[in-house]
Amino acid sequence: VLPFGHIIQNLPRSFWSNIFSVVLQSSNSLKASYEDWLLTYGLSISPFHMRWQTALFNRQFYNWGRWKPRFLYLWFSIGMVFGIVAMFGSVILLGKTLMQTLTQMLTEAPKAQNDRMLQVVVSVLPSGLYLQVVPGVNLPVSQLTYFFAAILISGVIHEIGHGVAAIREQVRFNGFGIFIFIVYPGAFVDLFTTHLQLISPVQQLRIFCAGVWHNFVLGVVSFMGLFLLPAILFPFYSTGVGALVTEVAEDSPANGPRGLFVGDLVTNLQDCPVYSVEDWNSCLGDISEKSQVGYCLSAATLQQLSFPARVYRRLDGTVECCSNNSLTDICFSYSNNLDNQLYACLPARKVIEASKVCRTNMDCQKDFVPSFCVTPSLENQTRLIRVKHPPHIDMLYVGHPMHLQYTVSLSSFVPRQNFLSIDLPVVIETFCKYLISLSGALAVINAVPCFALDGQWILNSFLEATLSSLIVEKQNRELLGFLILLAGSALLAANVALGLWMVTAR
């Protein structure tokens, strides 16, 4: 089962392979030999679709399916219960998401979306279910490898569940395969249909629910791995000492001789301590939401550092009092004892490095020395942020806090030895997050009672197992199942369509 909403901007390599295949099949002289070659290697190629099937893994599947029969019976019985609950839960979740999306469309105007924002396809989040992914818009191109690898692994684990459950229920297993649809990888198992139709509805449910059950288990295992990662990597990496810079984008405001460099350890943002990446994001969020902090400066120092400057208002109503060409001076505002608002152009680093933060003049009164709380007079949403990354000189950042967040990559894991890679924990952490998101999401989506998804077969078997005594006519049960599938398909299609619209409109 493939994720939805991917917008293709370039023709993938598999597309040209399919075109080449069509050309060969249209040739009278090459068609027969080409089809024999495909059959020999278990290949099947059609427009936008390639697949490979093999019996090489049949022995391994049969070994798994015959291992500890009682345990497997219990395992897949739990999976059957989970699959049924997931089928009903997925409908509720999709319905809730559809209502949230409609409400958002009616109440909010489309907003610009930063190209580094990530909404993984079909990610189940507290705020709803997202069914869209557009590389370069909400999926960074640099993370496509994680994305496709997680899809493939989730698909393989899903199909292993179906295959092992089928062998456990005495259904003949013909083979296992991998396919590529456009650019999406996936997996499948080939089961003997006649055997599948002869077993009881409850046995069918164990087989049909095994895929979503295995996806759920994979998501749980990935979550546990992510949660226990600090303990697993403890002998090699320390945590809780700061946020380690792993990458600074070329266009980042933090890039420069007095900016941040790969390997720097950030310990503070303003007066907010940073012990991990979560602290970094939290501090930036607080700085963005709250008003700009000021800095205590004595009256004598203020008089010594300030110099006459022309004061004028910007278009957004804020005040500027420094030359636009200055790279070191910033306009500061302060109030005197008469509560008059005054402005002074001051060298930012000299003001900040020898001062403590403040909100009002009262925060600066000490030892009867006249002092003022001087606050940077910046454009709306712009902040002056002091970033501490010892032993280097503090970085002074002027701009929107979110720009700093999107253009600087960090890790909570600090290598204990210099030869250890700073990227390894990030790779493991990111991949676990993709597995949690995609495997869990595929479990939910596959359980939807919709045509061509596992939910279709789960629903049919569930109706046969529960309603055969209430609705005696099989034709009536099939009609009921068809109507439910029609409603489920419409619900899923509506979520996909609106999800795509929300991404493209923003």
Locate 434 and state its tokens.
């993709």
Q: What would the pLDDT profile of 217-275 be if each residue is shown by its tens digit? A: 999 999 999 999 999 999 999 999 999 999 999 888 898 888 999 999 999 998 899 99
CA 119 – CA 133 distance, rounded (Å): 7
pLDDT reported for residue 3: 35
Number of CB atoms found within 10 A of residue 74's CB: 11
Whole-prediction pTM value? 0.80
Question: pLDDT tier at 160 (50, 70, 90 boundaries)?
Answer: very high
DSSP state of 426: H
Q: Percentage helix, strand, coil, to 5, in the chain?
A: 50, 20, 30
Model pLDDT, residue 209: 97
Residues 6+ apart with CB under 8 A from 486: none
Bridge partners (DSSP) of residue 177 are 53, 188
Task: Count how many Cα atoms sit within 13 Å of the Cα of residue 347 in the half-sphere of its side chain.
Answer: 8
Higher-confidence position of 115 and 233: 233
> In the prediction, which pLDDT does 61 show?
96
The span from the CA of 369 to the CA of 362, in Å, is: 12
- pLDDT computed for residue 388 by the predictor: 94
pLDDT > 90? residue 200: yes
Measured CA to CA, the distance from residue 10 to residue 323 in angstroms comes to: 46
Instruction: Say how far apart CA 499 and CA 489 lie, in whole Å.
Output: 15
- Which residues does the annotation mark as catalytic? 159
- What pLDDT, in 10s, does the model give residues 305-352? 887 778 888 888 888 888 766 778 899 999 887 778 889 999 998 888
pLDDT (average), residues 107-114: 50
Alpha-carbon separation of residue 453 from 189, 240, 352, 440 (angstroms): 14, 44, 60, 15
Distances (CA, A) of 500 to 4, 137, 144, 471: 9, 12, 19, 40
Rounded to an integer, the average pLDDT of 70-95 is 96
Q: Convert the pLDDT of each residue in 343-400 to its tens digit.
A: 999 999 888 877 788 988 888 887 677 888 999 999 888 999 999 999 999 999 998 9
| pLDDT for the residue numbered 30 | 63
Residue identified by tokens 């290697």 is 41
